[in-house]
Amino acid sequence: MKRRVFLLILLIFTTSCTPKYIPLNMPDCPPPPPPIENVRVALVLGGGGFKGMAHVGVLEIFERHGIPIDLIVGTSVGSAIGALYADHPNAVDLKNKLMKVKKWEILDLSILNGLRSLFDLIAPIQGLYYENYLRKQLNSKEIEDLNIPLVVVTTDIINNEIYLIRSGPIVPAVHASSAVPPFFSPVKIYHRTLVDGGVLEPVPVTIAKKFNPKVIISIDIASKPETGGLSNMLNLTYKSISLYYYELSRLKCQCSDFDIHPNLEGLGLFDDDKKELLYERGLKN
């Protein structure tokens, strides 16, 4: 609870600050994406922080039953899991990789920067550790080189619209899709200011439909907030945001042919010490 209160304090105060952009050596625009055609099964991976381990459990079930995946559409942590799996489509190997990673290895969270963000243009998490981790894990460097086509969903926060990345460097695209405001600074690439794709598309089923797949399978890892009393306004704010995200996710999933919703109640966005449990919850679907 103390951790949630601290994060909410940062949320309230940093949203009024103009974020500091992370400079990246990027081309002015992504290269022309390869065509995505004849898609039988499109897999949609929703956002949810460390709860993304549940995605991996579901992927293992797909492999056991021989369910092919012709396209992955991911937002937030769904884009990260999607990129790692599309690079090396083996759920057990992916699980073993992710089980070893610790929160501090991918989240360069600075309490000092969090406090400075009350008065300065510095976000609590810069995202540099996150990028470094992804680069070490990925064999492919470009989205078009992945073994399974991937669509990375981001939000253009200046123009208030979804921005899809289908080609070019994988790491900055996934970083942008995962840049949850206000904890991560927005990522400025392709002359756009991009944040977490889950701001507008927590489970981007409507994006998958653009590619005319025969079947869309969505995995929604959002969970309803715990019931109970409200102790203060911070608690009320946290619960309101969580409930809104949950209901929006459920609404988005109504357009899929098969909606998988693992039971993740009581598990939080930052519960990296419960990865095994999250994985097992994914296996049960």
Evaluate whether residue 168 is within a structural domain.
yes
pLDDT value of position 174 = 98
Kindly give the confidence (pLDDT) of every residue in the chain, 285 residues in length, as a single tens digit, with 9 standing for 90 and above.
445 444 444 443 433 343 444 445 677 889 999 999 999 999 999 999 889 999 999 999 999 999 999 999 999 999 999 999 999 999 999 999 999 988 777 776 656 655 555 665 455 666 788 899 999 999 999 999 999 999 999 999 999 999 999 999 999 999 999 998 877 888 999 999 999 999 999 999 999 999 999 999 999 999 887 777 777 887 787 778 888 888 899 999 999 999 999 998 877 777 778 889 999 999 987
Give residue-wise pLDDT tens across range 121-156: 455 666 788 899 999 999 999 999 999 999 999 999
Name 258's bridge partners: 217
Residue 71 lies in a domain: yes
Write out the two tokens for 193. Answer: 């200011």
pLDDT given at position 268: 72
Distance CA 144, CA 159 (A): 26
Residue 200: give its domain's CATH number: 3.40.1090.10
Q: What's 29-57 look like in SS3?
A: CCCCCCCCCCCCEEEEECCCHHHHHHHHH
Residue 27 resides in a domain: no
Handedness of CA 231, 234, 237, 238 (dihedral sign): negative
In a domain, 175, yes or no: yes
Token pair listed for 156: 């253009």
Catalytic residues: 76, 196
Torsion angle (degrees, nearest 10) of CA 164, 60, 140, 170: 30
Residue 30 inside a domain? The answer is: no
Task: Write down the pTM of the prediction.
Answer: 0.86
What CA–CA distance (Å, rounded) separates 264 from 46?
A: 13
Is 26 among the domain residues?
no
Predicted pLDDT of residue 226: 76
Alpha-carbon distance of 185 to 163, in angstroms, equals: 17
Structural domains counted in the chain: 1
The pair of structure tokens assigned to 220 is 């929604």
121 within some domain: yes
Q: Are 42 and 67 in contact (CB under 8 A)?
A: no
Q: Which two tokens stand for residue 213?
A: 């797949």
How would you classify the pairing of strands 41-45 and 215-219? parallel
Residue whose tokens read 């080609």: 167
Model pLDDT, residue 16 = 36
* CB of 94 closer than 8 Å to CB of 72: no
The owner of tokens 């619960």 is 239
Q: Give pLDDT, residue 53.
A: 95
CB-count burial class (<10 Å; 0-12, 13-18, 19+) for 279: buried
Lookup result for tokens 């790692």: 84
Query: What is the C-alpha separation between 199 and 39, in angstroms, rounded?
Result: 26
Give 198's DSSP letter: G
Residue 28 lies in a domain: no
Q: What is the pLDDT of residues 240-273, one digit of tens each?
A: 888 888 889 999 999 999 999 999 887 777 777 8
Range of the domain at 165: 2-16+36-283
Of 253, 256, 255, 263, the C-alpha closest to 285 is: 263
